[in-house]
Amino acid sequence: MATFQVRLVDSRLVSSSIGRGQGDDAVYGVGPYGGLRDLFSLQRVIAGLGALAVLATVPFGGMKKAVDVHPDRGLERLAVNQVYDAGPYKITITGARLLKDQPPLYATNKANRWVIILATVEVTADESRNDAATAIHLRGVAGVPDMDGMLRNDADSVLVRSDLTVFYAAHPGMPEELVIGWEQDSKAAVPTEVDVLVTGRTYRMNTFNESMEWLDEEDRAIVTVPVLDRRNT
Amino acid sequence: MSAPQQPHPGQPGYQAPPDYPAPQQPYAYPPRPGHAPPPGYPQPGYPTHPGYPPQPGPHGAPGYPGYTVPPPGYAPAPPAHVGQPPADPPPAFVLPPGFLAAQAQGQPAPPPSTGPGWWRRNWWGLLVIVPLLVTALGPELPELYRKWHNTKPNERVHVAGGQWASFGGGRIRLISLKRAPALTTYEGRPYTPPVTMQIWQATVEVDVTEDADLEGCDFSVADARGRVFSASPQELNGVDVDRASCLRPFDAPKTGPFTVVATFATSALPQGLRVTVGTELPRYLWLTAPD
Amino acid sequence: MRGTLGRVGSWLAGAVALLLVVNVGHRVMVFNNAASDRERPYEVSAEVGSMALARTFTAGVMSVRGAGAIIDPRGGNPHVSTGVWVIVTVRAASRDEPVAIGFAGLRDAAGRVYWASERVKQDLRGGRTLQPGIRVEGEIAFEVPRAAPSGGLTVLLAKNMFERRMEDILAFKLDPVDAATVTGWAADKKATLTPTKVLG
């Protein structure tokens, strides 16, 4: 009985320390096991679980600041001419060229050069698409900014290679060779090779309108392409 | 009672009067020591003899968790809630009477409801639904209305007989709406429209100050069925006609009215001229020519 | 103790049940592809050679031909197709107010849809405003893989290029074309498109 008495007193101390009033005892009760009951109050259990979750992160570095990951992390490295399935389309980077400004390329500054990526795109989705060329971006080329304001720097000019018309859409099952060009500042170094990023998409339900769409644009592959200087031919 | 010194119920030595009925109170638990257990209550091994210990304080009622450990040597206590259960509290949700009337046919009548009815108990919740609906849908309604009504020319403002009409910060009037005279192509050759197509021209006087909304007007004509034909259609590509607009021509006087001619290709007789200005929607002008 | 743990337990069970319901509901929606089905266009089928009514316009497919390359008489490079050009003659008029045919597509037997080409100038799709009751006739050119015409193609016409949900779409089923005919089409490297004209 003596231990019961001690616990009884103890539980009263505990309950008053977490702010329960005397009147609450009528509701919650102060029986022989009241102390344990108070020890496992809802708030404490939740707080305890939270603390356990934080502790569980310790083996993985705890609250240490995350290290910057390598920019190529998660990117599949492709070879030139390797066909890559980027979701709604297959993309093959076939080469790179450096050209002077000439029709049907029209630079905003006549002195600027054109960094050209040659690529083949083929829609594998079941409808024509007009976003295959914007799935290809340059990375880290001097004189060609990666970003255009808040947006990625999409190509300045995209042409169909066979007739040099402005490219609009690629069609299912019809590989189309494209000329994808970025203006390069004439003062920048002449590139000998460029990194090309390929963006993929995932077919999933759009949770806003519940229709199935190709969403979640993300860079998935990288190709390093040697640049042939054809400014004088 | 003739024996004032008789012990209280619950105390050793208490004897129930001979005619004492078996207690039927809802909370007959536990049988007080000395009482005969109510019918149907016999608990094997349950102590009925005197000497049942006093309960440990106000919270020691049987069934309370703190009571589950009896003193050493005491017979095991009965499980909680033997004997008659407490009366059910009023149910939290009961279908209103008659709700299931169709199903209830042939069934025994449900026990009569004791507490207030479902509608009475939930009246405030039902009342709250009304303002909730209003606040949830209300702000959208003007926008929805605007979308289907106010973005299209839906309200006709009729000005007849070639009268001046004030609209979009300027004035405009229809002088005539006639079949077009002989037209030529840009190369100067005479243009003959296909027999299925009529060409009409509206001659309009416009008086507009710079930057008035009316400058951005659109002309169209409508036939008796309400079918609308737009000005300068692609049917007349290559034909030498003016593109009609309410912008003051560069060679017109700086103030005062100027004349524009709008040309239409129609498949039926046009009844009047429609003038739409984006900022004036859903209103649009319906101008009919003087007789 | 049992009371508190019980409350935590039922709280957790409630949370798990909620997540389960949301997850299962999501899977059901994905499985049924609900929106694409619920909001699909209203397809109006018609024979080649006859006119069909959409909500805002009326149109018909009159004839079909093919080519390996289309040339623009005003100059420029020939537009060679890696597959084959399919050129359909379309007649159209609006019904109540000026409207354009924003979408033209070819659907093959496998359900793949090929948009009208933007490589060649064609004004009937997109650029042409139709007037009520004034019938015009012009050509619309598509690029498809060589194998597609033999399975039978369907010409699709609708008002909007992209927003085609719950809107009329006209469908004209073309007869399957044998491989020899397609080879003949592909051999024609000098096809030109007939300009759109008002029918007399």
DSSP of A119-168: EEEEE-SSB-BS-SGGGEEEES-TTS-SEETTEE---SEEEETTT-PBP-
The CA distances from residue B8 to B15, B34, B56, B223, in Å, are: 9, 10, 18, 105
Q: Give the closest residue to A181 by CA, choosing from A199, A171, A194.
A: A194
Rg (CA), chain C: 24
Q: How far is C-alpha B82 from the geometric centre of its chain's CA atoms? A: 51
**A100: Cβ contacts below 8 Å, ≥ 6 apart:** A113, A114, A231, A232
Please tell me the distance from the alpha carbon of residue B185 to that of residue B47, in angstroms, as a whole number: 120
Say if CB C41 and CB A126 are below 8 A apart: no
Write the single-letter amino acid at C176: P
Task: Find where tokens 């093919």 sit.
Answer: C66
Q: How confident is the model at residue C94 (pLDDT cuts 50, 70, 90)?
A: very high
Please tell me the distance from the alpha carbon of residue B226 to that of residue B286, in angstroms, as a whole number: 12
Please tell me the distance from the alpha carbon of residue A90 to that of residue A132, in angstroms, as a whole number: 9
* Residue B184 within any structural domain of the chain: yes
Q: Does C73 touch chain B (CB under 8 A)?
A: no
Q: Which of B31-45, B151-165, B243-257 shows the lowest per-residue confidence on average (mean pLDDT)?
A: B31-45
Final residue belonging to a domain, choices B131, B151, B171: B151
Q: How confident is the model at residue B25 (pLDDT cuts 50, 70, 90)?
A: very low
Same domain, B167 and B282: yes
Question: How far off is chain A from C199, nearest CA to CA, in Å?
Answer: 31
**C154: Cβ contacts below 8 Å, ≥ 6 apart:** C106, C107, C171, C172, C173, C174
Residue of B nearest to A31 (CA): B66
Dihedral through CA B175, CA B181, CA B186, CA B191, nearest 10? Answer: 150
Q: Which CATH class is domain A74-229?
A: mainly beta
**Dihedral sign computed on CA atoms, order B117, B123, B126, B130:** positive
Chains near C (3 or more Cβ pairs under 8 Å): A, B
pTM: 0.70
Q: Which of A34-38, B8-12, C41-45 shows the lowest per-residue confidence on average (mean pLDDT)?
A: B8-12
Final residue belonging to a domain, choices B130, B151, B172: B151
Same domain, B128 and B232: no
10 Å CB burial of residue A139 (0-12, 13-18, 19+) is: middle
Same domain, B266 and B166: yes
Say if CB A193 and CB A227 are below 8 A apart: yes
Please tell me the distance from the alpha carbon of residue A73 to that of residue C157, in angstroms, as a whole number: 45
Q: How confident is the model at residue C134 (pLDDT cuts 50, 70, 90)?
A: very high
| Strand C42-46 to C51-53 pairing | unpaired
Q: Give the closest residue to A222 by CA, choosing from A138, A151, A123, A99.
A: A138
pLDDT at A64 (0 to 100): 76
Average pLDDT over chain B, rounded to an integer: 74
**B70: Cβ contacts below 8 Å, ≥ 6 apart:** B76, B77
* Residue B107 within any structural domain of the chain: no
* Residue B95 within any structural domain of the chain: no
Supply the DSSP symbol for B234: G
Please tell me the distance from the alpha carbon of residue A84 to that of residue A90, in angstroms, as a whole number: 5
Element (H, E) at C29: helix C2-32
The residue extents of the domains of chain A are 34-67, 74-229
Same domain, B128 and B217: no
* Residue B253 within any structural domain of the chain: yes
C119/A126 Cβ within 8 A: no
Please tell me whether residue C157 adopts helix, strand or coil conformation: strand
In chain C, residues with a C-beta closer than 8 Å to the C-beta of A209 are: 35
Mean pLDDT of A179-187: 95
- The pLDDT > 90 percentage for chain B reads 32
Please tell me the distance from the alpha carbon of residue C193 to that of residue A195, in angstroms, as a whole number: 42
In chain B, residues with a C-beta closer than 8 Å to the C-beta of A31 are: 59, 64-67
Residue of A nearest to B67 (CA): A31
Residue of A nearest to B66 (CA): A31
- Say how many CB pairs under 8 Å bridge B and C: 57
Supply the DSSP symbol for B239: B
Q: Starting from the edge strand earliest in sequence, which strands make up the sheet with C136-144, in order?
A: C51-53, C57-70, C79-94, C136-144, C197-198
A164/C112 Cβ within 8 A: no
Token duo for residue A231? 């400014």
10 Å CB burial of residue A89 (0-12, 13-18, 19+) is: buried
Q: How confident is the model at residue A207 (pLDDT cuts 50, 70, 90)?
A: confident
In chain B, residues with a C-beta closer than 8 Å to the C-beta of C126 are: none
Chains near B (3 or more Cβ pairs under 8 Å): A, C
Residue A85 pLDDT greater than 50, yes or no: yes
Element (H, E) at A10: helix A2-17
Same domain, B201 and B272: yes
Element (H, E) at A171: none
Q: How confident is the model at residue C1 (pLDDT cuts 50, 70, 90)?
A: low
Write the single-letter amino acid at B162: G
Please tell me the distance from the alpha carbon of residue C143 to that of residue A175, in angstroms, as a whole number: 11
Q: How confident is the model at residue B84 (pLDDT cuts 50, 70, 90)?
A: low
Same domain, B225 and B269: yes
A33/B65 Cβ within 8 A: yes
Question: How many structural domains comprise chain B?
Answer: 2
* Residue B82 within any structural domain of the chain: no
Please tell me the distance from the alpha carbon of residue A41 to that of residue C45, in angstroms, as a whole number: 68
Same domain, B137 and B257: no
The CA distances from residue B89 to B85, B86, B113, B115, B120, in Å, are: 11, 9, 12, 10, 17
pLDDT at B112 (0 to 100): 61
Please tell me the distance from the alpha carbon of residue B178 to that of residue B200, in angstroms, as a whole number: 6
Same domain, B245 and B271: yes
Please tell me whether residue C67 adopts helix, strand or coil conformation: strand
In chain B, residues with a C-beta closer than 8 Å to the C-beta of A11 are: none
Same domain, B145 and B259: no
Say if CB A142 and CB A191 are below 8 A apart: yes
Residue A18 pLDDT greater than 50, yes or no: no
pLDDT at A100 (0 to 100): 93
Token duo for residue B134? 């209003």
Residue B280 pLDDT greater than 70, yes or no: yes
Element (H, E) at C112: none
List the beta bridge partners of residue B265: B199
Final residue belonging to a domain, choices B108, B131, B151: B151
Please tell me whether residue B87 adopts helix, strand or coil conformation: coil
Same domain, B250 and B142: no
Element (H, E) at B121: helix B118-121
Domain that holds residue B210: 155-287
pLDDT at C25 (0 to 100): 83
Say if CB B226 and CB B284 are below 8 A apart: no
Predicted-complex ipTM score: 0.82
Token duo for residue B243? 């593109």
List the helix and strand counts (H, then E) for chain A.
4, 11
Please tell me the distance from the alpha carbon of residue A174 to that of residue A122, in angstroms, as a whole number: 6
Same domain, B129 and B206: no
* Residue B18 within any structural domain of the chain: no
Q: How confident is the model at residue A36 (pLDDT cuts 50, 70, 90)?
A: low
10 Å CB burial of residue B267 (0-12, 13-18, 19+) is: middle
Token duo for residue C5? 């743990």
Same domain, B161 and B173: yes
Element (H, E) at A2: helix A2-17
C2/B65 Cβ within 8 A: yes
* Residue B91 within any structural domain of the chain: no
Say if CB A223 and CB A131 are below 8 A apart: no
Q: Which of A33-37, B70-74, B221-225 shows the lowest per-residue confidence on average (mean pLDDT)?
A: B70-74
Write the single-letter amino acid at B71: P
Say if CB A76 and CB A220 are below 8 A apart: yes
Residue of A nearest to C78 (CA): A163
* Residue B186 within any structural domain of the chain: yes
Mean pLDDT of C119-130: 89
Residue of C nearest to A38 (CA): C1
pLDDT at A13 (0 to 100): 42
Mean pLDDT of C119-136: 91
Supply the DSSP symbol for B226: -
Give residue-wise pLDDT tens across range B147-196. 888 888 989 999 988 889 999 889 999 999 999 988 899 998 999 999 88
Token duo for residue C168? 């009329």
Half-sphere exposure for A10 (CA within 13 Å, toward CB) = 14
Please tell me the distance from the alpha carbon of residue A166 to that of residue A143, in angstroms, as a whole number: 24
Mean pLDDT of C64-91: 94
Mean pLDDT of A57-71: 76
Please tell me the distance from the alpha carbon of residue A192 to that of residue B175, in angstroms, as a whole number: 71
Residue A161 pLDDT greater than 70, yes or no: yes
The CA distances from residue C155 to C114, C161, C165, in Å, are: 10, 14, 18
Mean pLDDT of A159-187: 95
List the beta bridge partners of residue C154: C107, C173
